[in-house]
């Protein structure tokens, strides 16, 4: 009996070693010691659509440099979104025209895509980013070519303008540049929007070409894509704004229950199983991110 008592006493007095858990990085994040290759891969993965598009443009740019000027003009003419091609094969030319560059080299567009397309795709997600640029590309193409068709009909432009060469990615770039306005807050948003309007609107006062109309129209379409930005991180209202909680008096910016409905609901709940607080619900947790 005494031996059993001493054995139990030794077990009780033996210090227990604390267990240390190693925190694993979240899925999809690069390890801090991944090196330059790991960081570059993580950077590419966060905007897959942009870099896939850039890769295609790199290949087509190399192909363009292998053609003579006459052959290149005829080759691009078949992929141009001019009036003739839009009447006969609109789907084909709307897609292929966005895979070739007209003016400027690939390094310039590589820089512009990293400044505009990469943050837009990370912010909106690939699907909504594609929706914005596709809407701007198609809408601006039809609006600009429609203006050109009116000019041809009224005699302001020659009839040969139905075969005008029109390829490139600038309409989509203008739409994405405009939608990034809603990524900013405060006075910076209005300053950026005025800069976009001035940049794409100034050529309308001088040259008034149909591509100038297309760029300005693409920017306006980008501004009109604000509904696609709802729910994206960073499109919150004023700092400190509150979001009402369902069935309670509301929640503060930090998620604390309101003083009226929330407290009375907890007081009248009575004994029973513990239920999560209203601000723990997933839908309410992210409600204050919606605009």
**pLDDT score, position 207:** 82
- What is the arithmetic mean of pLDDT over 123-133? 97
pLDDT at 180 over 70: yes
Rg (CA), the chain: 29
Choice between 103 and 56, residue whose per-residue pLDDT is larger: 56
How many helices, marked H, and strands, marked E, lie in the chain?
14, 0
**pLDDT score, position 233:** 74
Give the pTM: 0.69
Dihedrals φ, ψ of 243, to 5°? -125, 125
In the three-class reduction of DSSP (H, G, I as helix; E, B as strand; rest coil), residue 20 is classed as coil
pLDDT at 31 over 50: no
pLDDT at 217 over 50: yes
Show Cβ contacts of residue 23 under 8 Å, excluding neighbours closer than 6 positions: none
Residue with tokens 């960081």: 39
CA distances 23 to 18, 20, 31, 115, Å, are: 15, 9, 12, 34
- What is the arithmetic mean of pLDDT over 148-158? 93
- The count of other CB atoms within 10 Å of the CB of residue 183 is 18
Choice between 186 and 18, residue whose per-residue pLDDT is larger: 186
- What is the arithmetic mean of pLDDT over 86-110? 93
pLDDT at 14 over 60: no
When pLDDT is cut at 50, 70 and 90, the band that residue 234 belongs to is low
**pLDDT score, position 71:** 92
- The count of other CB atoms within 10 Å of the CB of residue 20 is 5
**pLDDT score, position 103:** 72
245 neighbors 257 (Cβ within 8 angstroms): yes
Element housing 144 (H / E): helix 126-154
C-alpha–C-alpha distance, residues 96 and 17, integer Å: 66
pLDDT mean across residues, the chain: 78
Q: Read off the tokens for 162.
A: 């139905």
Residue with tokens 């210090």: 15
Q: Which DSSP symbol is given to 21?
A: P
């Amino acid at each position: 009996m005494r031996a059993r008592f001493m054995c139990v006493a030794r077990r009780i007095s033996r210090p227990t070693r604390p267990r240390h858990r190693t925190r694993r990085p979240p899925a999809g994040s690069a390890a801090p010691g991944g090196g330059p290759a790991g960081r570059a891969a993580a950077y590419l993965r966060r905007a897959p659509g942009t870099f896939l598009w850039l890769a295609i443009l790199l290949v087509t740019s190399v192909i363009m440099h292998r053609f003579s000027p006459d052959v290149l003009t005829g080759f691009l003419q078949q992929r141009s979104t001019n009036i003739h091609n839009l009447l006969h094969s609109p789907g084909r030319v709307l897609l292929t025209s966005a895979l070739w560059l007209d003016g400027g080299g690939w390094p310039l567009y590589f820089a512009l895509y990293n400044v505009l397309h990469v943050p837009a795709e990370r912010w909106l997600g690939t699907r909504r980013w594609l929706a914005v640029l596709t809407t701007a590309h198609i809408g601006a193409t039809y609006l600009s070519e429609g203006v050109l068709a009116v000019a041809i009909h009224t005699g302001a432009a020659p009839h040969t303008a139905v075969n005008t060469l029109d390829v490139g990615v600038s309409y989509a770039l203008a739409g994405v540049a405009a939608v990034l306005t809603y990524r900013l807050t405060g006075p910076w948003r209005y300053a950026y929007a005025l800069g976009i309007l001035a940049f794409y609107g100034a050529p309308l006062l001088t040259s008034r070409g149909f591509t100038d109309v297309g760029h300005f129209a693409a920017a306006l379409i980008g501004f009109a894509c604000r509904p696609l930005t709802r729910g994206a991180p960073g499109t919150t209202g004023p700092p400190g704004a509150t979001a009402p909680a369902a069935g309670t008096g509301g929640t503060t910016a930090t998620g604390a229950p309101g003083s009226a409905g929330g407290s009375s609901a907890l007081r009248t709940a009575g004994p029973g199983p513990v239920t999560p607080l209203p601000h723990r619900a997933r839908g309410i947790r992210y409600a204050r991110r919606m605009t």
